[in-house]
Amino acid sequence: MKYLFANWKMYLNFSESMILANQLATMSYDTEKIQLGLFPSTLAFTEVEKLFRGSPVCVGAQNVGWTPKGAYTGAVSAQMFKEAGATYALVGHSERRYIFGETNDDVKKKFDACLDVGIIPILCIGETKEDLEAGKREYRLKKQLMTVLEGVSKDAQFFVAYEPVWAIGTGEACDHLQAAEIHDVIKDELNTYTSQSIPVLYGGSVNDENVVFYLPHQSIDGFLVGSASAERDHVHSLLAAVLAA
């Protein structure tokens, strides 16, 4: 099984989200080989979830608040997303960390909140260009994992998405051999915290042209795709590439 998770970020407004969702709803593919997940904006979430309810396509949240309810203007809690039908939620995406200032502790709270309500969190980790150039890639990734996973139940279900910050939205994807090597490092590190086989996804300027280079690597379990997932033809090409691998 390979995973293809489409993070629509803030690329699509409500009507654009529904147009794409309806296009994807008519698309056929081998659901035993691919798990497709969609992460629409909060405004579009409930309608997209209703469209795919009962289907093999899962719908997730791009971000969650860690407190169930309360005086948190603008926040939508993990509990609220669960009640609305969310299967997954992204936590710790690099844009949340480096644009909105979320700390490792914030990510830990959101991760735990997802587990508490039965949402499967997708923990996003990645190094900056400065980390890479300073030889601190593994240090950064291991620290991000440790802060969130220390003390988590060894039976907890979650995903990890490796998304080098310097590759997000830049068109400068991580070399597939390096990505596979880092995925091996991440999986070795995960053995410290869990007894589960945790899927590790690659994200960072993935598109329908370069995805074929990552597919042969067993350590890469799937992809978290940004801008390339916001167009019907690109999603179709990504699905076709994964199925052909």
Q: What's the sign of the alpha-carbon dihedral 78, 105, 3, 95?
A: positive
User: What pLDDT sits at residue 166?
Assistant: 87
pLDDT, tens only, 196-219: 999 999 999 999 999 999 999 999
> Is residue 236 pLDDT above 80, yes or no?
yes
* pLDDT over 70, % of the chain: 100
Per-residue DSSP letters for 201-238? EE-SS--TTTHHHHTT-TT--EEEESGGGSSHHHHHHH
Instruction: Look up residue 146 and give its two tokens.
Output: 């440790």
Cα-Cα-Cα-Cα torsion 27, 29, 35, 39, nearest 10 degrees, comes to -20
CA distance 186 to 124: 12
CA 23, chain centre distance (Å): 22
User: What pLDDT sits at residue 62?
Assistant: 98
Radius of gyration, CA atoms only, the chain: 17
Whole-prediction pTM value?
0.96
> Is residue 173 pLDDT above 90, yes or no?
no
172 band by pLDDT with thresholds 50, 70 and 90: confident
168 band by pLDDT with thresholds 50, 70 and 90: confident
Q: Which residues form the catalytic set?
A: 93, 163
Q: What is the mean pLDDT of residues 66-91?
A: 98
Q: Which of 139, 131, 121, 89 is nearest to 194 (CA)?
A: 121
In terms of Cβ atoms closer than 10 Å to its own Cβ (0-12, 13-18, 19+), residue 233 is exposed
Which residues on adjacent β-strands are paired with residue 198?
none
> Is residue 20 pLDDT above 80, yes or no?
yes
Q: What's the sign of the alpha-carbon dihedral 4, 197, 113, 52?
A: positive
E strands present in 72-209: 88-91, 120-125, 159-162, 200-202
Compute the mean pLDDT over every residue in the chain, rounded to the nearest whole number. Answer: 96
Q: Which of 231, 203, 174 is nearest to 92 (CA)?
A: 203
**Which of residues 165 and 40 earns the better pLDDT score?**
40
What is the residue extent of each domain of the chain? 2-244
Instruction: Look up residue 70 and give its two tokens.
Output: 């309360």
What is 2-244's CATH superfamily? Aldolase class I (3.20.20.70)
> Is residue 82 pLDDT above 80, yes or no?
yes
* pLDDT over 90, % of the chain: 94
157 band by pLDDT with thresholds 50, 70 and 90: very high
User: What pLDDT sits at residue 77?
Assistant: 98
